[in-house]
Amino acid sequence: MTELLLCPPTYYTVDYEINPWMHIHNKPDRELAESQWTAFYRLLTELKVTVHRIDPKPGLPDMVFTANGGLVFGNKFIVSNFRHAERAKEAPVFASWFKNRGYEVVHLPRDRYFEGEGDALMFGDTLVAGFKFRSDIHSHRYIGEVIGRRVISLELASPNFYHLDTCFCPLNDETAIYYPEAFDSYGREVLKHIIPNLIEVGRKDAMNFCCNAVVSGKNVIMNNCSAELRRRMETLGLNVFQLSFSEFIKAGGSSKCLSLYLKSPHNEP
Ligand code: ARG
| DSSP 8-state assignment for residue 180 | G
In one-letter notation, the amino acid at residue 90 is: E
Which run of H or of E encompasses 186?
helix 185-194
Q: Residue 265 pLDDT more than 90?
A: no
Q: Which CATH code is given to the segment(s) 3-263?
A: 3.75.10.10
- Among residues 163, 167, 169, 225, the one annotated as catalytic is 163
Q: For residues 88 and 90, what is the distance between their CA atoms, to the nearest angstrom?
A: 5
- Among residues 7, 210, 211, 257, the one annotated as catalytic is 257
Q: How far, in Å, is the centroid of ligand 1 from the Cα of 48? A: 26
Burial letters 237-262, b for 16+ CB under 10 A, else e: ebebbebebbbbbbbbbbbbbbbbbb
Average pLDDT value for the chain: 97
| DSSP 8-state assignment for residue 114 | B
Q: In this structure, how many other beta carbons lie within 10 angstroms of the beta carbon of residue 51?
A: 16
- For the chain, the domains span 3-263
Outline where 75-133 has alpha helix (H). 85-88, 90-100
In one-letter notation, the amino acid at residue 114 is: F
Nearest C-alpha to atom 9 of ligand 1 is from which residue? 257
- Backbone phi and psi for residue 12, each to the nearest 5 degrees, phi listed first: -70, 130
Q: How far, in Å, is the centroid of ligand 1 from the Cα of 64? A: 9
Residue-wise pLDDT for 148-166, tens only, equals 999 999 999 999 999 999 9
Residue-wise pLDDT for 228-242, tens only, equals 999 999 999 999 999
For the chain, give the percent of residues with pLDDT over 70. Answer: 100
Residue-wise pLDDT for 161-204, tens only, equals 999 999 999 999 999 999 999 999 999 999 999 999 999 999 99
